[in-house]
Each structure stands twice: as C-alpha cells, then as structure tokens.
Structure 1
Amino acid sequence: MALHITLRNGEKMIVNGAVLRAVGRTQICFENKALLLRGRDVMTPEESDTPSKRLYFATMMAYIDPDGLERHRETLLVLIADLLDALEGLEAKAICTSYAQKIATSDFYAALGDCRRLIDYETVALNRFAAA
C-alpha cells in the first residue's frame, strides 16, 4: 500500500538519509518502503538538551543512519540505562521498557514515539521542579 504525504512550501523531510525540502505545496507518494521523517519529527543536536531529548536524537540517528547502527545502538543503551536509573515514576519506567523492546527489534521509528512520551514526562517533571 502506498503512503501519500503532502508537504507545505519549505517543509523538510528526511528520506533514506537525504534531506528534501518542498518547493511549493508538494505531494509525494511512496510506492515502496523507505526510511522517512517529516520535518516536525527531526531534532537538531542543539535541541537535544535534556536526557530524554538526547535519547530521541540518538534514536533518530539510529533510524536514519543504518550504516552507523552499531555505534548508535551503543549510545542508545547507555542513554536508556541512565534514564532508567534517574526516573522514579512507574509510568516513565514502563515507557522505557516499551522503548527497549522496540530498540531490541530495531523498530526505531516506533521507539521515537516512546521518546516523545518521555520528553513530555520530563517536561512536566522539570516544570514541577522549577515551580517548587
């Protein structure tokens, strides 16, 4: 089944490691399997300024850079272990467990969803800490 995506003018997307930018409103139809990330799902190294965001960035790199997979996998294991040690909430630990299962099967795209949940959890915790 084909995947149809519409990009707004200037919106970026990564396809198999290549950065594409739409010129005008653009429709793309993927007829076969490809590694892709929409611009809103791409994080720069500068944006990865918290433990959960660093995990997201490393997961994104493992997803879009299969040639460096072993190096990225080592980084992911260190980052998730550090997060598990730092987190106290059962919900966050459950997200980490789900994430680890996805990483074990190289389902990096789905693991990005768990990272987003961890970022949300971390944001709430940091805001609570700042308010105290």
Structure 2
Amino acid sequence: MTTLRLSLRAGERIFVNGAVMRVDRKTSLELLNDVTFLLESHVMQAADAKTPIRQLYFLVQMMLIDPADARAARDAFDKTYPLLLAAFSNARVRDGLMDAAELVERDRAFEALKCLRGLIPLEDMILSGVQPAAIEPRSIAMPLAIGARS
C-alpha cells in the first residue's frame, strides 16, 4: 500500500471518491488506501469546456466527480470519442485520444484525465492554425499525476 501526502491551502477544495471537501486552513492529508481524487485546480468548469478535447476531458472528469451519474457521462464519452478521433488527423492527438479511451475502458478515469490534459496544448496549437508538422514533441509540457489509484 502506498501513502500519498497532499498539501492543501486554506479554502481549497478536493474531490475524493465523489465527495467534495473544503479545508478551512492550510493542511496536509495522507491518503492511506486506493482513492480517486481531483484537486480543485484540475477541475474544469463546464463553461471552460469550449474545445472538443476539453469537452471530452469534462466528461471524464464527471465520471470521477459524480460517481452516481458516471454512467451518463460514460455514455456521452462513448458517443463523442469516435467523432473526435475522426476529426483529428494529427498522429499525436489521435494516439493520445486512443490512450485515453483505453484508460476509460479499463475504469482508469484519473489516468485518462492526465492523458487528455496533455493533449489540450496541442489542440490549442492546431486550432490556432499551427501546422501539425511544426509542433515539436517536447515543446508541450505534460502534466504530472494528480492522484493515485492502483
């Protein structure tokens, strides 16, 4: 069993296994068992899901934040994913989307979010008109994990 230690600022929220918690002062938490969580800084608001990959991210996020309604979010993901895959010709985006879908299929929504978060800067470049061949593989920062689930 791995212990994961998190430090939270006063007023910060964390979503743990579907529950929303807010701390009233700076605090540290130790997660002693398998848990699915999102830090508030990684939660995307519906109004910010303005691009196709961000919309897919939002659906996966809803699987984690609202487990009671995860089936509806999963159904929407299953309908959206193939359309999105068909819309992109960039190999890195397509590979990332396929990786995210595989993770969702294996009930690894947390890891799928990490994968999709890494595609957002690439999507932004493509949507701004940068030619995919001009995008250097190492020019896009890949985010670190935000949680643990074994």
Q: Same fold (TM over 0.5)?
A: yes
How far the C-alpha of 1:111 sits from its partner, in A, is 0.2
- For residue 122 of structure 1, what is the aligned residue in structure 2? 123
**Unaligned regions of 5+ residues in structure 2, if any?**
131-150
Following TM superposition, where does structure 1 have runs of at least 4 consecutive aligned residues deviating by more than 4 angstroms? none
Bigger relative CO (Cα 8 Å, ≥ 6 apart): 2
Cα root mean square deviation, aligned:
1.4
The whole-number CA distance in structure 2 between the counterparts of 1:66 and 1:128 is: 37
Aligned pairs for 1:1-132 (under 5 A) are 1-128=2-129
By percentage of residues, which structure has more helix? Answer: 1
How many Å separate the matches in 2 of 1:71 and 1:8? 33
Unaligned runs of 5+ in 1: none
Q: CA offsets, 1:39-82, max 9 Å, x none?
A: 11111111111111110010011122222232111111122112
Normalised TM-score (structure 1): 0.89
Q: Which amino acid aligns with 2:19?
A: A
How many residue pairs match? The answer is 129
8 Å CA contact retained: 2:7, 2:29:
yes
